[in-house]
Structure 1
Amino acid sequence: MAATADLGRFQARRRKVLAVLIAVIFLVLLFVASAGSDATHELVEKAGAVLILIAILGRTWCTLYIGGRKSAEIVTGGPYSMTRNPLYVFSAIGAAGIGAMTGSVVVASLFAVFTWLAFLTVIFVEERFLDRNFGEPYRAYMKRVPRFFPKPWLFQESESLTIRPQLIYRTFADGLVFILAYPFFELVEYFQDIGTLPVVLRLY
């Protein structure tokens, strides 16, 4: 029971970190614009839309495997066979997609790296929790599977899945926040073009 409560606190912390990251990203990007040509801007925006879609689908895919099971067992199938933290990987991809909505590759890259660094603190806490609760089996999993950057050749499918629809719906709904990036930055571009919002920085 205590382990489940601890895990709940870690997951709540993870959601708070993600919410703060998104808020900071949206605030900073009010005053940032692309320095590239219109054609490059549009191309980067489209790439950002693809990254956001990957993030939403990827986070939902992870929940199919981890939903409700993390406190009871070590999940090693599907995305968790390639990286120990696929939810965070897809969140970083989503952050890159949001940054790309400015039309800037530099902004997209910076936000992906910033998100990765922010999640590292949560990852370290979770690793201590999992090591304490699962011991040697988890340590063996740590040796076999990378902490963050996926190794696709390690992919292994689980024999079966126990799906909890409520958790999947919640993860999918959380991911929809990324979609808000498109209308938001279209509006930002409009106000920047008419001079209401000052452009403090232009990046390629």
Structure 2
Amino acid sequence: MEIQENYAELSLLTVMCYDRYVSICKPLHYGILLGSRACAHMAAAAWASAFLNALMHTANTFSLPLCHGNALGQFCEIPQILKLSCSHSNLKELWLIAVSSCLVLGCFVFIVFSYVQIFRAVLRIPSEQGRHKAFSTCFPHLTVVFLFVSTAIFAHLKPSSISSPALDMALSVLYSVVPPALNPLIYSLRNKDLSAAVRRLMIGWYHKH
């Protein structure tokens, strides 16, 4: 289900945000707060909570009787499935959606609060080079968060007058497929060796064409 994939992505973005918060605001405690074991535990918690959330939604959704057809115009989203149901038991699913929304809101609030603290710490750095390095550490993560949140909000809150199957599909791809696909590329490009390899590859492709 798409809503659970989005929750898993937001959970991982929240863990990455915490990584940046500790590295900038509490650099002396980074090794203690974010050792390899702590990172593994946080990643496992994010995936496990997303899996359990998805399991509850999936079990409840597939128990609903469908009496308005079985064709969906876009990805398999829970609100779209509920429109096809003729059972009053979908109130349970709506309750689960409300719980998931609270979890998503909690992650979003944590990210916003962390970046407020990060920006306050960065602005207190005396050297311009230090501020630039700190901002460059946060920029890839902020880019993915902005793309994910902005497209998800627009997809779910856009006026019905501009809604269309093609637009809904494009927005679904933008916030459910593109951010997870960009994560490894964006974060890996901070590695100097990989950046140099990509640069050489682009130069070689340019000379061939």
TM normalised by structure 1 equals 0.31
Q: Bigger relative contact order, structure 1 or 2, given CA contacts below 8 A and separation 6+?
A: 1
TM-score using structure 2 length = 0.31
Q: Which has the higher helix share?
A: 2
